[in-house]
Amino acid sequence: MNLLDKLLFCWRSVSRTRLRSMMLLLAMAIGVCSVVMLTSLGEGARNYVMQEFAFLGKDVLVMFPGRNETTGGLPPVTGAAARNITLTETLRLQRAVPAILKVAPVIIGSTLVSHGERGREVIVLGTTGAFPDIRQMSLDQGRNLHLDPGHKDNECLVGSTLLQELLPNQPAIGQLLRVADYRCRVVGVLSGRGDAFGMDLSDSVLVSISLAQQLFNTDSLFRVLLQVNTQQPLAATKKRIEEEMARLHQNELDVTIVSPDAMLATFDQILTIMTLAVGGIGAISLLVAGVLVMNLTIINTSQRTPEIGLLKALGAAEQTVLQLILWEAALLALAGALTGLLASALLLTLASVLWPSFPMQPPLWAVVAATATAVLAALLFAWVPARRASRLSPIHALYRR
Amino acid sequence: MIELRQLCKTFVLGDQPVKALDTIDLSIGVGEYISVMGPSGSGKSTLLNMIGLLDRPDSGSYTFENAETTTMSEPQRAELRSQRMGFVFQAYHLIPRLTARENIELPMVLGRVSSAERQRRSQEVMERLGIADRSHHLPKQLSGGQRQRVALARAIICKPALLLADEPTGNLDSHSGAEVVALLEELNRDGITLLVVTHDADLGARARRQLKMLDGRIDRDLTPG
Ligand SMILES: Nc1ncnc2c1ncn2[C@@H]1O[C@H](COP(=O)(O)OP(=O)(O)OP(=O)(O)O)[C@@H](O)[C@H]1O
Ligand SMILES: [Mg+2]
């Protein structure tokens, strides 16, 4: 029996027992699809975390009040600090440390922002024009905030989502918004999402730091972003800044400075666990898919014992019979795997349209392993009963005794 | 053509050994027409399967065309089955998803006969057996008589020397049964050696040589006239 005849025989057996073939194909497809989708989900979550915490550039240090001596843990988010960091201190710091290129002081809070009848409690971020610069945020319209922290005009940048709510279908630049009890002029519109500290800035306003100080009646800064010259070693610059801050704070070092490396090191543990979790999810779904394929293939092959007997009675060699069964199993598994890959590609495309910010992508190993597992499981578990049946004396297989 | 010497086959049912073939001695010449009768469980099918190389005996010798078969490897036996023997079963044993023609061509497909040659031979055989107009039908679309004729066509497509039929008319009404018998006898007249197992006394009586089995032994070996 030549290869073409074998394939033709398999094709007839697949195409003419449509229901059975469809069930097998579906099982393989679901198995492969679920492996790809689950690992994509895991990988997506991992990438999401990466992306969320990689929002700072390599040349940006983050300074905040308070000192967490036990290194390794997460930095305190709400700094119950001994001493605040003030705007004046940041200005002195910048003057004292030439390696600092830009300083973006940040005050954060939430308050009612309104225009006419429309209004809502949103996050208000007080800063200077240095913040969008350092974060490399782009503007849809207008201009950036003033770079000078001493600038006294009340001006703001509005996130794109908030803009739609407050000022739908009208020119935004030059409009006056009400921020708590203050009036504030819109000078620009932020484009896209622009995350900061894990928050979505499209639903917030960035106001001048002087306004934020009045709004929240505070002098203390929540965070300070420092863009530094990377020509000099980051660690040395960090040390210089720490010395300078200690000097400003009566020789007590009570601020924390986090570099991107340290940040990533902190999250390294989380990311490692994420990676393991993705692998685990993949392995489990592969196993489930393998068992599914195994059961169906065993049932399918066992049911055909009489046919194996007949082929042997007609003079087919053991090898021929075995190959016929294996070819059929392999072809079905391959078709099922491809269907599954296609389905998952469609689902992933759909997901990327629905949730563009969640980067779902199957890891290559999952695609390869899922396909290989389906085909190998089908081959192996077709091989075992087929081999047993093909070794039976023809008459036993024929009458299945 | 066929020599069985002291052939034995014992099956174990539960813990009860059953002597399906009990020291059988039998010679069959080329072109013979033999019927095998006997009560149920007397070993008729076992004998037929043994002669057809579908099963192996426990002891004894079986020479087919002067070759000892009991020591042959499975591939050798398979080769002999496909080249020299044809089988017709009571339950037809057609592959349900293949059409009549594809079922008939199956032995040639297994035997690497070229596609054109297959076409020619299957057409010829189907015409001879009166099923040419059914060539594209699936077994389930055929009557019992037609199915058995397809099975018969498959059995003779490789021009075997020996045709073994186990109750070929067992599932058929008397009319289509008679047609199938007529075809078998016609093939025998053309030179094929024919061995038919049957419960039908009339059919058994048509054979030139009649074997009667009882408890795994050949009880009677008649050649009337
Ligand atoms: N594979 C088997 N396993 C166990 N016992 C078997 C097997 N094949 C046949 N037998 C037993 O061997 C004996 C002879 O069986 P066989 O099928 O040859 O009888 P038979 O004459 O063809 O009967 P029937 O007319 O009912 O077809 C029976 O007792 C049967 O139960
Ligand atoms: Mg029988």
Here the ipTM equals: 0.87
Pocket of ligand 1 (CB under 6 A): A 401; B 11, 13, 18, 20, 38, 40-46
Contact A133, A57 (CB under 8 A): no
* Same domain? A325 vs A376: yes
* Same domain? A187 vs A296: no
Ranges A279-293, A332-346, A382-396: which has the least confidence: A279-293
For residues B166 and B214, what is the distance between their CA atoms, to the nearest angstrom?
Answer: 17
Nearest to B110 among A13, A314, A398 (CB): A314
* Same domain? A306 vs A213: no
Q: What is the DSSP-derived secondary structure letter of residue A86? A: B
**Closest residue CA from atom 30 of ligand 1:** B41
Say whether B107 and A310 touch across the interface (CB within 8 A): no
pLDDT for A282 beyond 80: no
* Same domain? A224 vs A271: no
**Closest residue CA from atom 22 of ligand 1:** B45
pLDDT for A70 beyond 70: no
What confidence tens digit (pLDDT) does each residue in B156-167 have? 998 899 999 999
* Same domain? A277 vs A205: no
The amino acid present at A310, given as its one-letter code, is L
Place of tokens 């003079």: A315
Task: Show the domain range for A351.
Answer: 3-53+267-399
What confidence tens digit (pLDDT) does each residue in A293-351 have? 778 778 877 788 888 888 888 888 888 888 888 888 888 888 989 999 999 999 999 98
What confidence tens digit (pLDDT) does each residue in B102-123 have? 999 999 988 888 889 999 999 9
Q: Provide the number of structural domains found in chain B.
A: 1
Q: Where are the alpha helices (DSSP H) in A120-208?
A: 130-134, 160-166
Say whether B74 and A12 touch across the interface (CB within 8 A): no
Nearest to A313 among B54, B75, B83 (CB): B54
pLDDT for B31 beyond 50: yes
Which residues 88-117 on chain B approach chain A with CB closer than 8 angstroms? 89, 93, 95, 97-98, 102, 106-107, 109-112
What confidence tens digit (pLDDT) does each residue in A235-275 have? 888 899 999 999 988 888 888 888 766 666 666 677 678 77
Q: Provide the number of structural domains found in chain A.
A: 2
Looking at residue A79, its pLDDT comes to 45
pLDDT for A81 beyond 50: no
CB of A392 within 8 Å of any CB in chain B?
Answer: no
Looking at residue A263, its pLDDT comes to 67
Contact B64, B80 (CB under 8 A): yes
pLDDT for A29 beyond 70: yes
Say whether B81 and A317 touch across the interface (CB within 8 A): no
* Residues in chain B closer than 8 A to A12 (CB atoms): 97-98, 102
* Residue A77 maps to a domain: no
For residues B164 and B39, what is the distance between their CA atoms, to the nearest angstrom?
Answer: 19
| Domain CATH code at residue B188 | 3.40.50.300
Rounded percentage of chain B residues whose pLDDT exceeds 90:
74
- Six-digit token string for A195: 């995350």
Q: Select from A228, A253, A277 the last residue of a domain.
A: A228
Going by C-alpha positions, the residue among B26, B8, B10 that lies closest to residue B219 is B26
Rounded percentage of chain A residues whose pLDDT exceeds 70:
90
CB of A9 within 8 Å of any CB in chain B?
Answer: yes
CB of B14 within 8 Å of any CB in chain A?
Answer: no
**Closest residue CA from atom 12 of ligand 1:** B20
Distances, alpha carbon A122 to alpha carbons A110, A111, A119, B125, in Å: 5, 6, 9, 88
Looking at residue B140, its pLDDT comes to 93
Looking at residue B142, its pLDDT comes to 94
* Residue A203 maps to a domain: yes
* Residue A155 maps to a domain: yes
Q: What is the mean pLDDT of residues A121-140?
A: 88
Q: Return the ∠ at Cα A195 (arms to A156 and A138), rounded to 5°.
A: 55
* Same domain? A384 vs A271: yes
Cβ-based neighbours of B159, under 8 Å, separated by 6 or more:
none
Rounded to two decimals, the pTM is 0.67
* Same domain? A118 vs A214: yes
Task: Show the domain range for B189.
Answer: 2-222
Looking at residue B211, its pLDDT comes to 95
Alpha carbon of residue A49 to chain centroid: 6
The amino acid present at A12, given as its one-letter code, is R
CA-based nearest distance B186→chain A, Å: 22
